[in-house]
């Protein structure tokens, strides 16, 4: 039986969850009886899932990388002390279990979304490089599945040394899939020849599991679906963090008012707990709140795909919310700030609906709101036509073939 490890994932973030579920589901369709173990950066309710999740975090990662578990009695002692300090039992027995999983694994897949680039401090990128070193230490092949890379312009004194470290470590990877052209060019400019351009695997793979496929005991719960023909506004606190907070809030409110003025049935869909506090701020100054419906809850990624599929179009900036919509041919007006939004929209001929939140043109965005209200059916058809090409081949199948060469 084949055994694989997937790193760079977590279940709380629904985009990360969707990448893991896509990878696991497709691997199990290729190797029917294979085991797929998640090494999770954040460890939430692992007992609720019908697959194994192990805590790959700031405690277990250095222990494994430095081989501290090889020192007799050291790892259990460290685990006991760390658990007492953090008031958790999540590490109990896990170091030994992770060591066994690494020794038994046929390969490692990394499904990080974005860690290696100057959009984050170097520490995030070093976590990815540590994972590659771990694969090397256990003599396992590793493939970096579609994710964002770059730019590499931290503007720090050790940039040149770090770029050399990136090249040295990533040269070990069997294959690296860059999700955007910017990332592809950043990596190949370092002299790496194991890089390929690929769309995000959640949109590239044709199949996706249902909520009932992923839980030990599927909950009998009622999903709150939007009314047919409605519009979804999917808010994102990062829009306020990356852009100007006051301007971003004003834009959200202006979009909401325009949708209502256009006679749309409007839903605010909250796909992340981090965004819950924004709902009240966006609704501020709205005279009749009964005109706006709210859907909020701890939904799984399969459930979010079902919910978003009911909208005629959405306003969104959470990357995988857009992908969830595109999977169902639901067009989106995108408020973004990185090349990943442009490249994603380009796959489906939707570039004119992408806006940079760092320099928002409110009037033009509102014009596109008006335009989408008329053209959403045409845009939906265009997305469906482009989907055939995007899903013309499986990136997971391509990755498994690379392992066997």
Q: How far apart are CA 5 and CA 172, in angstroms?
A: 17
Quick check: is 224 in a domain? no
Q: How far apart are CA 153 and CA 202, in angstroms?
A: 29
**How buried is residue 177: exposed, middle or buried, by Cβ count under 10 Å (0-12/13-18/19+)?**
buried
Q: Which residue in 275, 277, 279, 276 sits closest to 266, CA to CA? A: 279
- Residue 76 has a pLDDT of 85
Same domain, 164 and 58: yes
**364, two tokens:** 């033009």
Can you name the residues that pair with 35 across neighbouring β-strands?
3
Q: Which residue in 12, 41, 13, 11 sits closest to 24, CA to CA? A: 11
DSSP notation for 67-113:
TGGGSTTHHHHHHHHHHHHHT--TTTTHHHHHHHHHHH-SEEEE--S
Q: What is the CATH number of the domain that holds 252?
A: 3.40.50.2000
- 68-76: Cβ within 8 A, 24+ apart: 69/95, 69/96, 69/99
Quick check: is 146 in a domain? yes
Same domain, 181 and 53: yes
Whether pLDDT at 383 is above 80 = yes
Whether pLDDT at 88 is above 80 = yes
pLDDT digits (tens, 9 = 90+) for 32-68: 989 999 999 988 788 889 999 999 998 999 899 888 8
pLDDT tier for residue 330 given thresholds of 50, 70 and 90: very high
Q: How far apart are CA 208 and CA 19, in angstroms?
A: 10
Q: Cβ(192)–Cβ(211) under 8 Å?
A: no
Whether pLDDT at 385 is above 80 = yes
Q: Is the pTM of this model over 0.75?
A: yes
Same domain, 193 and 120: yes
Q: How far apart are CA 368 and CA 333, in angstroms?
A: 8
**296, two tokens:** 């909020």
On average, the pLDDT of the chain sits at 94
Domain of 181 in residue numbering reads as 3-218+392-404
Quick check: is 226 in a domain? no
Same domain, 155 and 189: yes
Q: How far apart, in Å, are the Cα atoms of 50 and each of 16, 24, 45, 127? A: 17, 12, 11, 27
Q: Cβ(117)–Cβ(85) under 8 Å?
A: no
Same domain, 316 and 339: yes
Domain count, the chain: 2
Q: What is the CATH number of the domain that holds 92?
A: 3.40.50
Q: How far apart are CA 259 and CA 98, in angstroms?
A: 50
**102, two tokens:** 């690494």
Quick check: is 358 in a domain? yes
- Residue 33 has a pLDDT of 87
**Residue 331 carries which DSSP code?**
-
**67, two tokens:** 């081989």
Q: How far apart are CA 302 and CA 213, in angstroms?
A: 9
Quick check: is 364 in a domain? yes
Same domain, 383 and 321: yes
Q: How far apart, in Å, are the Cα atoms of 42 and each of 54, 148, 209, 211, 216? A: 9, 20, 22, 20, 19
Per DSSP, the three-state class of 270 is: strand
Q: How far apart are CA 29 and CA 211, in angstroms?
A: 17
Same domain, 95 and 59: yes
pLDDT digits (tens, 9 = 90+) for 113-122: 999 999 899 9
Q: Cβ(55)–Cβ(43) under 8 Å?
A: yes
Same domain, 130 and 246: no
- Residue 195 has a pLDDT of 98
Q: Cβ(107)–Cβ(4) under 8 Å?
A: yes
Q: How far apart are CA 79 and CA 366, in angstroms?
A: 54
Same domain, 177 and 326: no
Same domain, 125 and 266: no
Quick check: is 139 in a domain? yes
Quick check: is 223 in a domain? no
Q: How far apart are CA 361 and CA 31, in angstroms?
A: 49
Same domain, 203 and 272: no
Q: Which residue in 259, 301, 377 sits closest to 23, CA to CA? A: 301
Same domain, 27 and 127: yes
Q: Which residue in 401, 392, 405, 391 sits closest to 31, CA to CA? A: 401
Quick check: is 254 in a domain? yes
- Residue 316 has a pLDDT of 96
pLDDT digits (tens, 9 = 90+) for 272-291: 777 888 889 899 888 898 99
Whether pLDDT at 271 is above 90 = no
């Amino acid at each position: 039986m084949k055994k694989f490890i997937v790193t760079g994932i977590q279940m709380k973030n629904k985009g990360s969850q969707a990448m893991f579920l896509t990878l696991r589901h497709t691997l199990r369709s290729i190797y029917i009886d294979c085991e797929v173990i998640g090494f999770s950066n954040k460890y939430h309710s692992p007992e609720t899932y019908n697959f194994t999740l192990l805590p790959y975090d700031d405690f277990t990662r250095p222990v494994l990388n430095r081989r501290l578990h090889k020192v007799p009695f050291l790892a259990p002692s460290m685990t006991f002390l760390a658990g007492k300090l953090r008031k958790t039992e999540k590490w109990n027995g896990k170091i030994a279990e992770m060591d066994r999983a690494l020794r038994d694994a046929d390969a490692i897949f990394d499904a990080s979304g974005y860690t290696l680039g100057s959009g984050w401090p170097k520490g995030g990128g070093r976590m990815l490089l540590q994972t590659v070193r771990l694969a090397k230490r256990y003599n396992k092949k590793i493939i970096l599945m579609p994710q964002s890379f770059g730019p590499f312009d931290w503007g720090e004194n050790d940039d040149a040394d770090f770029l050399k470290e990136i090249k040295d470590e990533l040269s070990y990877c069997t294959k690296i899939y860059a999700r955007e052209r910017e990332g592809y060019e950043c990596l190949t400019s370092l002299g790496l020849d194991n890089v390929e351009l690929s769309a995000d695997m959640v949109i590239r793979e044709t199949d996706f599991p249902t909520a009932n496929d992923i839980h030990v005991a599927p909950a009998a719960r009622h999903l709150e679906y939007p009314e047919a023909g409605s519009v979804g506004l999917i808010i994102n606190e990062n829009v306020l963090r990356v852009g100007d907070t006051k301007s971003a809030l004003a834009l959200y409110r202006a979009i909401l008012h325009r949708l209502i003025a256009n006679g749309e049935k409007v839903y605010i869909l909250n796909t992340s707990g981090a965004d819950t506090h924004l709902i009240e701020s966006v609704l501020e100054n709205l005279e009749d709140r009964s005109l706006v419906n709210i859907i909020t809850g701890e939904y799984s990624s399969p459930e979010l795909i079902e919910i978003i599929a009911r909208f005629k179009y959405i306003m969104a900036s959470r990357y995988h919310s857009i992908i969830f919509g595109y999977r169902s041919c639901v067009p989106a007006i995108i408020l973004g700030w990185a090349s990943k939004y442009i490249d994603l929209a380009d796959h489906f001929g939707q570039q004119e609906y992408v806006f940079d939140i760092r320099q928002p043109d409110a009037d033009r965005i509102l014009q596109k709101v008006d335009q989408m209200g008329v053209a959403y059916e045409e845009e939906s058809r265009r997305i469906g036509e482009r989907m055939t090409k995007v899903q013309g081949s499986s990136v997971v199948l391509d990755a498994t073939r690379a392992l066997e060469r």
